[in-house]
Amino acid sequence: MWLSTGLLSNLGANLVTSHSHTRRVLLTFVLVYAFLILFARWHSFRDPTSVFFDSSSAYLPDYSTVRLAQANTFIDYANNGAENIQWKGSDHPQLCLGVATIARKGARYFKSAVGSILEGLSEADRAEMHLILFIAHTNASEHPAFSESWLQNVADKVLLYDENDVDIDHIRALESDDAKQYAREKALFDYAYLLKTCEAVNASYVAILEDDILALDGWYHRTQYAVEEADRMTNEKGASKWLYLRLFYTEQFLGWNSEEWPTYLLYSILTVSCVACALLAARRYQPKLRPVLPDDTLILLCFVCTPLLIGLYFASGRVTMRPIPPGVHEMSKFGCCSQGFVFPQSRVADLIELYEGKRAGYVDMLTEEFANENNEIRYAITPSVLQHIGRKSSKEADWKQPKPKQGITDLWNFAFETNDADLLYQERLGFREPE
């Protein structure tokens, strides 16, 4: 009887000790987990794939405000005919860059876009670029930029519709209010028309940018590096050609994919299993750890703590937990949209044929369909060198307000706003060759 009572007493003491230890482990985990949640909220607020995404802060145009001011200052100098503003492309440019624009009621993105493209370029940089600015109106005077002196001062060519090359009456009909439903036809026609004009320049590469973007300071040297990397990576794959280099994408489409949930589930189960095996092995082969790893503590760590940590991993967002490393990489899925592409000269004819054959559609969707059908190689540069500042409404943006409050569309590169203007300036100077 005495022996039985002693055993029961020892067992009870062990259980009390075990439960007490498990409670301490649980309390410690709760405190650590709370800290991790706070850290995730701070670290992931710009990640649109995260449950901690904060649109009121993530859409604030921090760097865009600085770059917009730099771009507009450049255009002001261009209006006054400053000498360095009037640098032009050489007879043998490396890049033909085209921007098509239409007038938008109450919104003046175009001049800021052009200013951001050119601001910061050296004379040698500018000589490598042939800049075509396309006023996509049958009556060019409808666009406010057409009457401003900066346009002719900065462009190598101001492109207008040539009535000898196009059906001007059909284009005029597409501009009418009654034809708004055919906007996809005119936009695609303009894109192909600009591509053909750039193709005739015979530069090594052709870049087509939309008129509602901002280019970061130093975008040109990063793009130069990126096309060289794209060529090198293509050769390493044993391929002979690539289709495009994407200069802009939004992170919104880079989240955890629902079609991959079996993979995520498998790795989650494997993680729990590995933790369980590691703890069981530690308890068996390390006698000193046995008192701190009773069964209830093991259950807590394996089936409560570990799943909660896995859940926090996914909740923090894919862009946060598995960011795309800086540089050039393939992006054959989830790329969006057509704000900025660079095409090798050898591929431009294929794209012109595609767009002219389709007649109507969205450039990015048609390009992706073509690429998927032909197993084309597509690249993107990270971080994005462009930001999309276009808005749904025609009202002037209040750049002190978050983007959704400005009425701007959701095509936004959140990482772009983390750029530091001083660091970008120093980086650009570092890429310049001594004069």
What's the CA gap between 268 and 273, in Å, rounded?
Answer: 9
Q: Are 215 and 361 in contact (CB under 8 A)?
A: no
Architecture of domain 62-253+322-431 in this structure: Alpha-Beta Complex (3.90)
C-beta neighbour count of 11 within 10 angstroms: 10
Look at residue 180 in the predicted model and tell me its pLDDT: 59
Q: What is the pTM of this model?
A: 0.86
Q: What is the pLDDT of residues 11-67, one digit of tens each?
A: 344 444 556 778 899 999 999 999 999 999 999 999 999 999 999 999 999 999 999
Helices H, strands E: what count in the chain?
A: 16, 10
Residue 4: band (very low, low, confident or very high) from pLDDT cuts 50, 70, 90: very low
Look at residue 84 in the predicted model and tell me its pLDDT: 67
Look at residue 390 in the predicted model and tell me its pLDDT: 84
Q: Are 263 and 391 in contact (CB under 8 A)?
A: no
Q: Where are the domains of the chain?
A: 13-43+258-316, 62-253+322-431
